[in-house]
Amino acid sequence: MKNIPLSKVYLTDEVRQAALRAMESGWYILAKECEAFEAELATYTGTKHAVLCSNWTSGMQMVHQAMGLKSGDEVLVPSHTAFPSIEPMCQWGATPVFIDIDDSYCLNVEQLEAAITPRTVGILPVHLYGHPANLDRCFAVAKKHGLWVIEDCAQAQGAKYKGKTVGSMGLCGAFSFFPSKNLTVMGDGGCITTNNDAIADRLRKLRNHGRLDKYHHDEIGYNHRFNEINAAIGRVGLKHLDDLNSGRRKAVARYNERLKGIVPTPPERDYAYAVYHMYVIRCGDKRDALAKFLKDRGIATGIHYPVANHQQPAMTKLFKDIPKLPRTEQAVKEILSLPIYGELPLKDVDYVCDAIAEFFGKK
């Protein structure tokens, strides 16, 4: 029996040597490796600035502070996303206004305008599972109503929307380097990309205790700094990101070919170059039984996510009337994430597909 993990970090001798180089440098926080990683991330994304921070959530906390988000403000966001997508806005007293999904699992942009009120200040499209959201429509609605757009790129390092890298088109892009991500740093970590000089300067100050220099604090800030070892590891991963994403897409092509007619597989819109942080199938009411069947054969699976955010206990306390999002509510009952990572062997994909075919009596 095989042992196929859901995801796997990119770990090579080059990665190990980079970590050792940083350890032996004598510099450990926001030094040369971090500076180089920021410059390389900005170049890769196509933005003026990339500001490293301790994780996605801390980065967005600072972004919202820099933008002046306040109690009573409303932000349009899909319910079907990781809970951290909405945590930072809630911590500043803003209210997430939940939008249903389309067939790509991203927010249904046709529902945006109907959700706007005088309190709406922004839109947070999530490039979920590595598939870009429909940004043209987001930007058109935002321009019409005077709103900002921030891209949640936590699962989409290297994805493209109409040929442009995600994280380069909104006011800011927010990235995560958590170990399961397409680009990881072997620990927690995040980055905010932007072309806005004022926001970038504010973020660099806020992440380091509000400092202008070593001994002068311009405002109350945080310790959301990045470290040299993680930056050195991330620099290696970034060099290989496109190849690793190509490996994911090759695995996806095999999945799609082998699973056709057995289970619904994830669509890819014509405007999207998806990078498949997750490969998500639909299983109807057989999801839990299939997951157990695969586990018994050494195949790891996941559910991303079993509880929609508008139904999370932390959220239901905030609303008098819980919104009804039928597509989201149906999806969370049926979705199952299969193993996917940049170096996933096609023979392992075949093993997974054979097991799924067997489960559904299609072998």
Buried b (16+ CB within 10 A) or exposed e, 92-106: bebbbbbbbbbebbb
The pLDDT score that the predictor gives to residue 267 is: 96
> What pLDDT shows up at residue 319?
81
Under the banding of pLDDT at 50, 70 and 90, the label for residue 363 is confident
According to DSSP, the residues that pair with 190 across neighbouring strands are 53, 176
Q: Give 281-298 pLDDT, tens digit per residue.
A: 999 999 999 999 999 999
Residue 321, pLDDT score: 83
What are the Cα distances from residue 188, in Å, to 30, 55, 172, 180, 312? 15, 6, 20, 10, 24
Between CA 277 and CA 266 the distance in angstroms is 12
The pLDDT-based confidence of 225 (bands split at 50, 70, 90) is very high
DSSP reduced 3-state for 240: coil
Q: What is the mean pLDDT of the chain?
A: 97
Give percent above pLDDT 70 in the chain.
100
Provide long-range contacts, Cβ within 8 A and 24+ apart, for 256-262. Answer: 258/349, 258/350, 258/353, 258/357, 259/353, 259/356, 261/362, 262/356, 262/357, 262/360, 262/362
CA neighbor of 228 nearest in space, from 23, 52, 14: 23
Interval 163-182 mean pLDDT: 98
Instruction: Name the fold adopted by 13-239.
Output: Aspartate Aminotransferase; domain 2 (3.40.640)
* CATH 3.40.640.10 residue ranges for the chain: 13-239
Provide the pLDDT for residue 320: 79
pLDDT in tens, 59-87: 999 999 999 999 999 999 999 999 999 99
User: Which of the listed CATH numbers 3.40.50.720, 3.30.230.10, 3.90.1150.10, 3.40.50.620 matches domain 242-359?
Assistant: 3.90.1150.10
Q: Where in the chain is the domain with CATH 3.90.1150.10?
A: 242-359
Instruction: Name the band, by pLDDT with cuts 50, 70 and 90, for residue 145.
Output: very high
Q: Is the pLDDT reported for residue 1 higher than 90?
A: no
